Structure 1
Amino acid sequence: MVDFSIYSLPIEEQNAFKAILLVPIGALIVVILRTLVGIRTSGTFMPILIALAFIKTSLITGLFIFIFVVSAGLLIRSYLSHLNLLLVARISAVIIVVIGLMAAMSIVSQKLGFSQALTVTFFPMIILAWTIERMSILWEEDGPKEVLIQGAGSLFVAILAYLCMTNRVVEYLTFNFPELLFVNLAVILLLGQYTGYRLSELRRFQPLAETELDSVLRQQKSNHNTANDK
């Protein structure tokens, strides 16, 4: 009998699939937080990639590396904007800068004895470079406040995705029952049809709801007084 299970694969491929099968869980977290809660992130699925990097680096170390590299990259990107470079050349330059920052961080951490910072290489440099590029453009168009909102939102979603993806029960279920991917897909498709208000929008429309409620109460009171007069 032919065995088509993941357990029939070599150990290295099995370990790779353990990480790959966690990606849909992160995607579900992103869809829920963006569609139902309304959290704004820098990129749609960049938080998943950040969460995968956190799995390799540990959460605290990964947060420090991400914030340091992106902050330094934004400073250098602001200088590159004065050179009037084309988009491809600008992103390529940012990638080189990110690689330099990662190499410098690894060397300095090795000299200082901080072995955890050596895991900086697990961060996808292309994603970091593209994040820096997106945030710098956002800074120019919408200001630093929007950059902080989307940056904080991305990290918040990435942390929640990391916590879910590193849960032992989730790891066990996703690896041993890959057919649960279809359940995950069905939930995402259902959420994709949601067109109602997000939780973050309820506060914005709260004054309107209070005004409508006051008008309804006044109308009911007026109708009650009219009925009593009759």
Structure 2
Amino acid sequence: MSAAPGGPAEKAGIMSGDVILAIDDTSAQDMDIYDAADRLQGPEGSSIDLTILRSVKEAIKKLRENNVKAFVLDLRNNSGGLFPEGIEIAKIWMDKGVIVYICDSRGVRDIYEADGASTVAASEPLVVLVNKGTASASEILAGALKDNKRAVVYGEPTYGKGKIQSVFALSDGSGLAVTVARYETPARTDIDKVGVTPDRPLPASFPTDEDGFCSCLRDPASCNLNAARLFVRS
């Protein structure tokens, strides 16, 4: 995908080379180009939610070339996207450890772990930003990085979407959503309706827009942050 210069997609942060994984929570895997185009178009002022795959590994490589020694992963207002992508991103930052447990009424059903095969940045200092808009796969990522002590998490408790549901068709054409499993963090925390609790709160003055966010990182004191302790857990 490529974004037209100055267009709404570029202004929203879409970059050339991004891959659309989902449009408004509908997987784009089996969409043809015409179906995708229809879903992307709409009246002036309307909006859509896109789940985008971008080469995180390539971004980390370029940042290292610019002598970046620490990273901030901003998951605020990130509704999560697809579960497998959240797992793969966790593996980029972790070389070992449990990422998430999938549990049902009988106990642990599946365990997702990092094995080092996909690791790119397992040692540099890492801060993760979360808020109540951080949900689903993003919560799994934040919980994994926190519980494995891979990152310091700042912000407010996340949304708390920890249930896995299946929809069963009924004879009248309706459907019944049934909870079949749940997510638990590596510390065995059930995040449903509770969310991931950050290590530290963010100052109320900390901005969400990109320019303000970057200004705070360049001058932490201006946003009431202690630069010397920014990447320290306690």
TM-score bracket, normalised by the shorter chain, equals under 0.3
Between 1 and 2, higher relative CO (CA 8 Å, sep ≥ 6) is seen in 1
Give the number of the structure whose alpha-carbon radius of gyration is greater: 1
TM-score by length of 1: 0.23
Identify, as 1 or 2, the structure richer in helix: 1
Using structure 2 for the length normalisation, give the TM-score.
0.23
